[in-house]
Chain A
């Protein structure tokens, strides 16, 4: 198979999964199986591309020219190969989990759900492999629009207003800031292609670079930096498989991925380091990390707590990109993988608890640890990884980020990262503590939903196992950083 064909196949398979799900909409088992099959195929393709990138192979395909200097083209970068690998591998598990959750919770409109789920994955993969900033923007919008029906899935007043907030913030920021920023880059450089080392050096006035960075970081609303973070907690009204795969992995990671791509392949870390135009962003990211951690502590709803934790963790990646030193970028890129693995575990567990015991609140978890030992075990693994305890994979990315901030002589940032870890311990492990120490007086009827238990166990164990294989990913990541 030629390399360009591989890209087309990888991008189109989720669409076919959506199509087949629609065709087989009257046969529930068949309909839901396409997610798993599609996930498996795209995973194999992503893996092949991932290895190809390690061996310096080139994956690219150009379809047609949109306007001067901008083609509709895909080209896999090292960073993109990582993101696609994460999205496709977790899609398999999420598909299995979706079956268990949607049936266990008795949700309606399951066909529409699986269709838009697949389309969202399609958009995420296309973002990962996009060849220039405009193609990335196109699929960024498709991702927003395709996840809207998932957020508003319940079709009640609450989910409707959440859906509106979701859409208006994400589309609004992208049209007001992101697109004009893209035009600006195009007008200055005449191209939007991703190139190692960036395209702005010597072409873009250095004094306006901070302004451009601001337009980008606020325009890419999916990165959920404060004050553009409100959509993420709002989106939690969606069924948990959406929160798990999309709002812990595909959508938010598409956001931070877009920003990382801009820093690495458009602006160029060297240019950023020279001009120091992203130093202000370091502080904003730090603020977001701390503020959302503190808000997370106050949240009793488990999913809302995880949402604020996500906001905080996303800002780690923004922080790494803003520091722009090689170690920080390494940490930021790696954090895409580690956070995805850890957070999807936590969301899976939150959903599993909801399906089996109908509990949403942390304070209601009393004594549940003994009743749902496997789920709590998986949850603990995921939480430890996100906190950054060795030997869990999350410790690597935190390590690199702290090293990166010291490298740039931002000692306070390193301290803030440390404090944030302490806060993580508190709000992520509190549910576990409550679950095992306090006894509940209420009798709770448990429903069995094994398909929601196994996926978090797998990802949780993955957090542990991949700690020892971190180099496997880091090889590709070092390809990202050229300076």
Chain B
């Protein structure tokens, strides 16, 4: 009986959270929505593991919705490119949901608990849809669902600070512009080819191999739309306020996974579909994405140095880190794409851990966490502070943490592409990361104020430490991340060579 469900695993990982989301929306209890979410996500993890097993056997799953054959029906595709991301997504969502309960209880009205988890699962389901979908219009649908869910979640932060409403509104408007750009691009593509399925699109586009202005316009619209959504510099302005005014649990989820899933789709679109116009792709990567990535790395880091609000600081650091990922993706070869995926994995863990720890501090401090408010926290809350320290060292990229592995592979990729100037810039910006991170450490441990240590909540520091330990473990034993990333790059780049 169970096997029937397993056959539909690709659909269920998306549909299950969406369904449960509707069920728990009006639950008045303050604990049941959380328990049901945890159970759902445990099932979700189980399904993801099942998918991993299937993929390791067959290598490719195309799931057709309602048995409508693609290109007519909507289909999901699971292959080497996204299976690693799917697994990371599943695990991290579970951990952050576990973490979210106490945070939500403190930051939002407990009667809103049902709504919050309903939106939470909505975001999870739709973000997961972005990872799996093989249909460019279906992607737009998931983009919109995830955007609406995230916006509502961000707006929940209004109980703490009214600026959350403004941040949510900003995101709504800018996100909508991005989505509109994307859907205009889809419209162009559909008008020219009559298809929305990505595999079919590749075939249909081939007939315009000499190049058509409409196609290029459509492609540009799609890419720019996705860039807005992925917060690639300079269209990142919605991200810092959104991350910093959202409830802490929400920032954790968004910072770790939301932009990453879109970045994944972005690179998939580039290397799987747009690859048939190599000259266009080269133009976009070399003259748009590459310089923007460098700017993002540098400017994001510098702005982060001048932030006083810790969540904002982390958000700007995210802009820089997204720059690292796009820099890697702009390299057009196996090592580049692989190192981009490595950093997607690693940065999800690092930023997730950092936002978790800072979110907990926000609850303890009962106000926005600024540099000043962190004074003496290292002694007051040693368990969480120590986790924050390790995550931060990983952000800088010191050896024995997974941040180092990211840096190693990024350097290697840049080196094989002979981009020595970028290497220098990445090195400088990682040194600048020390500056903004050390400002935090200095306040926490080396300020004049001293406290006796206080009790910390195990429900909160446990998930933080799970993430922190995984940071160290993947820093020492990096093989799983490297293999998943190489697998992703293998699939994408083999298309490039054809």
Contacts and interface: CB of A to CB of B under 8 A. Distances in A.
Interface in A40-94: 64, 66-67, 72
Interface in A125-182: 134, 137-138, 141, 149, 152, 155, 160, 163-164, 167-168, 171-172, 175-177, 179-180
Interface residues of B, number: 28
Given A138-B400, A168-B435, A175 B430 contact: yes
A180 B405 contact: no
Interface string A163-206: 11001100110011101100110010000000000000000000
B427 interface: yes
Contacts of A183: 408, 411-412, 415
B405 A172 contact: no
Contacts of A180: 411, 423-424, 427
Contact of B434 (A66, A134, A160, A172): A172
Most buried by A among B405, B407, B411, B445: B411
Contact of A64 (B396, B431, B477): B477
Given A72-B476, A138-B400, A155-B448, A171 B411 contact: no
A185 B411 CA distance: 12
B428 interface: yes
A171 B442 CA distance: 15
B451 interface: no
A197 to B, nearest CB: 26
B115 to A, nearest CB: 45
A155 B446 CA distance: 7
B478 interface: yes
Interface string A201-245: 000000000000000000000000000000000000000000000
A176 B399 contact: no
Q: A interface, by DSSP: helix, strand, loop or mixed? A: helix
A163 B445 CA distance: 13
Interface in B385-412: 396-400, 405, 407-408, 411-412
B434 A67 contact: no
A67 B408 contact: yes
B188 interface: no
Nearest to A178: B427
A463 to B, nearest CB: 37
Contact of B399 (A138, A149, A163, A177): A138
B424 to A, nearest CB: 8
A149 B446 contact: yes
B438 A66 contact: no
B396 A175 contact: yes
A187 B411 CA distance: 10
Chain B: interface secondary structure? helix
Contacts of A72: 476
B438 A167 contact: yes
Contact of A152 (B396, B423, B446): B446
A163 B476 contact: no
Contacts of A138: 398-400
B415 A187 contact: yes
A476 to B, nearest CB: 29
A134 B399 contact: yes
Contacts of A171: 431, 434
Given A138-B399, A155-B446, A155-B448, A66 B476 contact: yes
A72 B396 CA distance: 20
A155 B447 CA distance: 7
A176 B434 CA distance: 11
A160 B405 CA distance: 32
A187 B412 contact: yes
Contacts of B412: 183, 187
Interface in B72-115: none
A178 B423 CA distance: 13
A420 B447 CA distance: 42
A167 B446 contact: no
Contacts of A149: 445-446
A168 B433 CA distance: 11
Nearest to A134: B399
Given A64-B477, A149-B445, A180-B411, A141 B428 contact: no
A177 B399 CA distance: 15
Interface in B433-488: 434-435, 438, 442, 445-448, 476-478
Q: Point out which of A155, A160, A180, A187 has the most chain B C-beta atoms below 10 A from its C-beta.
A: A180
Contacts of B431: 171-172, 175-176
A66, A149, A152, A160: residue with the most chain B Cβ atoms closer than 10 Å? A66
B427 A66 contact: no
A168 B439 CA distance: 11
Contacts of A134: 399
Nearest to B450: A109
B427 A179 contact: yes
Given A67-B405, A183-B411, A187-B412, A141 B398 contact: yes
A349 B431 CA distance: 37
Candidate in B399, B423, B434, B478 with the most chain A CB atoms within 10 angstroms: B399
Interface in B270-329: none
Contacts of A167: 434, 438
B434 A168 contact: yes
B449 to A, nearest CB: 10
B423 A160 contact: no
Nearest to A145: B393
A64 B476 contact: yes
Contacts of A179: 407, 427
A137 B399 contact: yes
B481 to A, nearest CB: 11
A255 B434 CA distance: 20
A72 B478 CA distance: 13
Contact of A176 (B427, B447, B448, B477): B427
Contact of A175 (B408, B423, B434, B477): B434
20 contacts: A66-B476, A66-B478, A67-B405, A67-B408, A72-B476, A138-B398, A141-B399, A167-B434, A167-B438, A168-B435, A172-B431, A172-B434, A175-B396, A175-B427, A175-B430, A175-B431, A180-B411, A180-B423, A180-B424, A183-B411
Q: List the 9 closest A-B pairs by CB distance, nearest first.
A: A175-B431, A172-B431, A138-B399, A183-B411, A176-B427, A176-B431, A180-B427, A171-B434, A175-B430
Given A67-B408, A179-B427, 11 more contacts: A66-B399, A67-B405, A137-B399, A163-B442, A167-B438, A171-B431, A172-B431, A176-B427, A177-B427, A183-B411, A184-B415
